[in-house]
Amino acid sequence: MSIKITPDHLSRVAVVYVRQSTMSRVMGNLESQRRQYDLAQAAEAAGFKSVTVIDDNLGRSGSGSTQRPGFERLVAMVCSGDVGAVYCIEASRLARNGRDWHHLIDLCALAGALVIDPDGAYDPRLVNDRLLLGLKGTMSEYELSLLRQRGIAARDSKAQRGEYRFMLPPGFCWNELGKIEIDPDEHVAGVVRLVFTKFRELGSARQVFLWLRAADIKMPVVLRNVQIYKLSWKAPAYHKVMQILHNPLYAGAYAFGRIAQQTRIVDGRARKSAG
C-alpha cells in the first residue's frame, strides 16, 4: 500500500469510477469492464472504510460533448469531503477533456482526496503529483483528438474513392461487392419511382406531397442511429419528399458529406448537431 494513503483517507469512502465510451464497447469489450470493477476489490484490500462504484456512464463519451450523470455524481461526492480516494484504471476513464479533468483534480486537492490508478497513488496537493496528473490528463485529451483525426482522414480517403459505406436513402442498398444498387424490395423501389414520376407530372414537390397524402400512400423511412439498416413505413411528410428529390444518389452520383456537423455551447457544454 502506498505511504500516501493515510488513516484519514481510509476513514472515508473510496469511489471507483467505471466508464466506457460507446455501447458497442460496453457489449464487446468486457475485459475493460472487468478491470475497472476489479478496482473495488483493490480499494477494499487497501483498507478503505467503504467502497462506492459509479458506473452510470457506461456507453457515454468522456469528451465533454455529452452529459455524464456519473461524473457529476462523483464531483458532488468529492465536494462533500466524504471521498478519500478516486480509483480509475487510467485518466481517460475519468475525462477526455481538460476542463473536466482539471476541475476534478482541483476539487480533490481542496477536499484532500487521492487519485489512484494501477500505476500508483497521487495526491493533488503535492506539486510533483499535480504535474503528473496534469500530464496524464493532457495525454488523454490529445489521444482522443489524435484518434478522431486519424479516423476522419481515413473516412474521407475512402469517400473520395467512393468506397466508404454509409446509411443509404430508401430505394438503395449495398451489395456484396461494396457497390450501391437498387433495393431488391420492389415495394420500396416502386414508391421512390412514384415520387419522381409524380414530380415530373405535377411539377411541384408540394403537389407530390399532397397527392401522396390524398392517395394514402405510405413512404419508406430509414431509421437512423441504429446498427442495422431498418425501414419503417410512415405517412408522407413534405421534408421526406424534398429529401428524395434533392438527393444526388437518385441521379446516380456517389455523394457523401453534404451535411456538416455544427457545435454549439448549451449549458456550458459542447453539443453537436447535423445541419
Strands (E), 1-117: 13-20, 50-58, 83-87, 114-117
Please check the confidence at residue 60 and state whether its pLDDT lies above 90: no
**Predicted pLDDT at 227:** 58
pLDDT digits (tens, 9 = 90+) for 212-254: 999 999 999 887 664 566 788 999 999 999 999 999 999 888 9
pLDDT category, 107, cuts 50, 70, 90?
very high
Residue 264 and residue 106: Cα distance in Å, rounded? 26
Query: In the CATH scheme, what is the homologous superfamily, with its name and number, of domain 7-154?
Result: Resolvase, N-terminal catalytic domain (3.40.50.1390)
State the residue for C-alpha cell 420500396: 188
**Predicted pLDDT at 106:** 93
**Predicted pLDDT at 113:** 93
Q: Which string of DSSP letters, residue by residue, matches 204-255? A: -HHHHHHHHHHTT--EEEEPPS-SS--EEEE---HHHHHHHHH-GGGGT---
Q: Is 21 a catalytic residue?
A: yes
Q: What is the residue extent of each domain of the chain? A: 7-154, 172-255
pLDDT digits (tens, 9 = 90+) for 167-221: 888 989 888 888 889 988 899 999 999 999 999 999 999 999 999 999 999 999 8
Catalytic residue among 2, 21, 92, 140: 21
Long-range contacts of 94-97 (CB under 8 A, 24+ apart): 94/17, 94/19, 94/62, 95/62, 95/64, 95/71, 95/137, 95/140, 95/141, 96/61, 96/62, 96/63, 96/64, 96/140, 96/141, 96/144, 97/62, 97/63, 97/64, 97/141, 97/144
- pTM for this one? 0.66
- Looking at per-residue pLDDT, the higher value among 65 and 158 belongs to 158
